[in-house]
Amino acid sequence: MSLVLTEEQELIQQAAAEFLKERAPIAHLRALRDEEDPTGFSRAIWKEMAELGWPGIPFAEDHGGAGLGMAELGVVLEECGRTLAPYPFLSTVVLAGGAVARGGSDAQKREILPGLCRGETLLALAFQETGRFDPWVIDSKAEKTGDGFCLSGRKTFVLEGHVADRLVVVARTSGASGEREGLTLFLVDPATDGCELTRSALIDSRYAARVSLSEVVVGRDAVLGEVDRGAEILDPVFDRATAALSAEMVGLASEAFERTIAYLKDREQFGVRIGSFQALKHRAAEMFCELQLAQAAVLDALRALDEDRPHAARIVSAAKARCSDAASLITCEGLQMHGGIGMTDEEDIGLFLKRAKAAELTLGDAAYHRDRFARLTGF
Amino acid sequence: MKDPGAASIEAFRSELVEWLRVSCPASLRPGAKPTEEDRAAWQQAFCARGFTTPTWPSEYGGGGLSKAEARVLAEEIPRVASWFPVASFFGTSMLGPVLLEFGNEEQKKEHLPKITRCEIQWCQGYSEPGAGSDLASLQTRAVRDGDHYLINGSKIWTTGANQADWIFCLTRTDPSAPKHDGISFILFDLHQPGVTISPIELISGASEFCQVFFEDVKAEARNLVGELNGGWTIAKRLLEHERAMLSGGTGRPSDSPRARKGPPPAPKSALAESARPHLGEAEGELADPVLRHRIAQWEMDALCFGLTLRRSGEQARAGQGPGPATSMFKLYASEMNKRRSELLMSVRGAAGLGWSGDDFEPLDLMETRGWLRSKGNSIEGGTSEVQLNVIAKRVLGLPD
């Protein structure tokens, strides 16, 4: 598939850019943060996005979706990255929604996905238990009871868990922490006895939840997919989420880069515009190159997933590593080039730095993905 | 067949396959041993169809093919022939495209067919001892003298001048004008009195470069390309073609649908595999975690750079020149090659320190010379710093 956007993708991009500029510009993120909005985003705007069909992009038409692919979702996420729109695409649509679409029974999909596509049902994937991303380091246990399971354990960094109507909880039905085998996915209503959520505010003005599970009893019908074989659902879901997050990072890095270039052309010191200094020009040109590589890598990663290409995971890891490095370079250099004003809360460049760092450390940073890329390349 | 374009491509393919079957002598087939006689006949037939410059117009000796037809040609030739003539890249990739754009009819008719037929080897007279990165300060003079210009001065880093027949040369024709406005682009014969060519030995021990001296050398006035004193525009255009070439092309996808059959092989890294015997392994992973990460970083960058080239190629409309983005490609390709050579040195340790003799493996000696040679990648064809300046100015629009 070509790395150039199709006509349909261009239309989605234009619609997304116009909508976000109008309804969710950076001022929107600031307002939510300053008002300490407990949700962290506007449910009304999320419904409007659903009317435009965005949350349903990757889901089958039978379940209320648009039946499109990651390439189309990536276009929307790139635009969200540009305005730092804090909407639950990663948590609800790609991570938890992806797990339901991939592992769920017909009944589970019919129950959950149409509401998700309408912007009514919010989901979160509760898997992570440690700071650094490592998908199989899971201690939470699910023990078989008479006609169901009893879940116990602690989850951290559950993106948008604070507002989720349903949690997809990953727990161990066999094996030991660190092992890929022996994991099972469960659909859990957060209101169930023994399930406690606390909201944590993150640097990027978004929320995640800590989830404490103490003897949470669920029925047999809460199992998503097959017992002990949750990794088979999670592997492709993490790849899709990693590519989607990378697309958002390309958007935020592009915007931070363009804002920095505009500043270099505008700001005067020593009687000249600072963009005329070669020390800054060369660094700006290097940022441009890194951004070009990140863009191409993300476009190909999204298409590799849509085509079910063998070894797609390898380009996904390359894309996340390149995006992590590029977004970090561009936001750090962008702040430096803004000088003192860049350190103030009033200037937006700091918001880009914060979101870039959160995205970098979500779903594995550059070092994690270099290691994975090397393994997938046989060394 | 989905569309008439595809149908005409397949018609071209059938015609070509038949022509190759008839024209390629038996001794040039894969596995056979070529005879000199057959080689000459094959070269003549191949060049007569303009296949060394397949996309040039046939009126100037080229193949007159579309880009799609040229891709078919590139696919089909190696199936039939173990060898085929390749014209000098200074002619095909640098001078030729510039003559097609800026040359007059007489110049095109005179010079292009000789490039196609591999009759004339060209070299590039750009850098001078006092004009490297600041190319526009060049001092080699061309002074009009009747039908001729008299050339005096010196060029340096002239690749292959000692093998070349003609030179395309930047000369100063108006010393009183601002430096960019007094330069002309002139072609002349190197086989004449007053031309002295001295090879330059490099740190790698090789000497592919020369310094060339001109003392009252004659260039016919009709071989001045473009406007008098308008040579800088042509010089820059040619550099874009050079940079596109140095960065490994303008992004043609390598996997044509015809070539793709069966499941793709498991991805492998040549760099990691050459490191494996030196570093050892633990459970299949290279045992040195730091070098392993550096190799992974290099491989990822190479993969993403390849995708960037492909994307740029797909974005470019047919007929457009390579454009200023090629500065990024040259920059990145040279830095990538330097990093690869540095990694090969780190990986091999003292085994990479040999200069000559039987104590070292020939491959190790070659890679070490390659490491030294790679240092020039970010200097030749415009230094990396110049490329960064070009990106900052032309792509990002930063102020002077």
A300 closest CB neighbour out of B276, B300, B307: B307
> Residue holding tokens 């989850």?
A155
In which region does residue B229 sit, left (phi positive, over 0), alpha (psi from -120 to 50) or beta (all else)? left
Q: Does B383 touch chain A (CB under 8 A)?
A: no
Q: B128, B240, B242, B367: which one is catalytic?
A: B242
Question: What ranges do the domains of chain B cover?
Answer: 16-86, 122-229, 270-395
Question: What ranges do the domains of chain A cover?
Answer: 7-121, 124-229, 232-376
Which residues in chain A (233-262) have CB-CB distances under 8 A to chain B?
261
pLDDT above 90: residue A273: yes
Model pLDDT, residue B322: 56
CB within 8 Å of A52: residues ≥ 6 apart: A15, A19
Q: Does B227 touch chain A (CB under 8 A)?
A: no
Options 1.10.3720.10, 1.20.140.10, 1.10.375.10, 3.20.20.80; CATH of B270-395: 1.20.140.10
Nearest CA among B180, B171, B179 for reference residue B224? B171
CATH architecture of A232-376: Up-down Bundle (1.20)
Q: Do B267 and A311 touch (CB under 8 A)?
A: yes
Residues from chain A that touch B275, judged by Cβ atoms under 8 A, are: 379
Shortest CA gap A265–chain B (Å): 6
Token readout for B285 is: 């992973």
Domains B122-229 and B270-395 fall in the same CATH topology: no
CB within 8 Å of B297: residues ≥ 6 apart: A321, A370
**What CA–CA distance (Å, rounded) separates A349 from A372?**
31
Model pLDDT, residue B250: 41
Model pLDDT, residue B227: 95
Mean pLDDT, chain B, rounded, equals 90
A276 closest CB neighbour out of B304, B314, B400: B400
B265-269: average pLDDT: 89
Q: Does B295 touch chain A (CB under 8 A)?
A: yes
Which residues in chain A (322-361) have CB-CB distances under 8 A to chain B?
322
The number of residues making up chain A comes to 379
A4 closest CB neighbour out of B307, B314, B389: B314
Cβ(B95)–Cβ(B122) below 8 Å: yes
pLDDT above 50: residue A296: yes
Q: Do B300 and A371 touch (CB under 8 A)?
A: no
Nearest CA among B398, B234, B243 for reference residue B327? B243
Q: For chain A, how far is it from start to end, CA to CA, in angstroms? A: 28
Q: Does A107 touch chain B (CB under 8 A)?
A: no
Domain A124-229 of CATH type 2.40.110.10: yes
A285 closest CB neighbour out of B295, B392, B400: B392
Model pLDDT, residue B320: 46
* pLDDT band (50, 70, 90) for residue B193: very high
Shortest CA gap B398–chain A (Å): 6
E strands present in chain B:
122-125, 141-145, 148-159, 166-172, 183-189, 195-200, 209-220, 224-225, 281-282, 285-286
Model pLDDT, residue B317: 54
Options 2.40.110.10, 3.40.50.620, 3.30.300.30, 2.20.25.10; CATH of B122-229: 2.40.110.10
pLDDT above 90: residue A326: yes
**What CA–CA distance (Å, rounded) separates A101 from A96?**
9
* pLDDT band (50, 70, 90) for residue B312: confident
Token readout for B274 is: 């050459």
B242 is catalytic: yes
CA angle B374, B333, B319 (to 5 degrees): 135
pLDDT above 90: residue B262: no
Radius of gyration of chain A (CA): 21
Q: Do B273 and A315 touch (CB under 8 A)?
A: no
Q: Does A266 touch chain B (CB under 8 A)?
A: no
Give the helix, strand, coil percentages of chain B, each rounded to 5. 50, 15, 35
- The pLDDT tens digits for B122-172 are 999 999 999 988 999 999 999 999 999 999 999 999 999 999 999 999 999
B308 closest CB neighbour out of A280, A282, A293: A293
Token readout for B246 is: 């140095």
Residues from chain B that touch A3, judged by Cβ atoms under 8 A, are: 307, 310-311, 314
* CATH number attached to the domain at A7-121: 1.10.540.10
Shortest CA gap B308–chain A (Å): 5
**Backbone phi, then psi, for A304, in 5-degree steps?**
-60, -40
The residue of B278, B308, B314, B394 whose CB has the most chain A CBs within 10 angstroms, and thus the best one to mutate to test that interface, is B308
pLDDT above 90: residue B263: no
Q: Does A299 touch chain B (CB under 8 A)?
A: yes
What percentage of chain B exceeds 90 in pLDDT? 75
Q: Does B329 touch chain A (CB under 8 A)?
A: no
B71 vs A115: which has the higher pLDDT: A115
Q: Does B290 touch chain A (CB under 8 A)?
A: no
pLDDT above 90: residue B208: no
E strands present in A109-147:
123-126, 141-144
- The pLDDT tens digits for B276-306 are 999 999 999 999 999 999 999 999 999 999 9
Token readout for B139 is: 């001092």
B85 vs B195: which has the higher pLDDT: B195
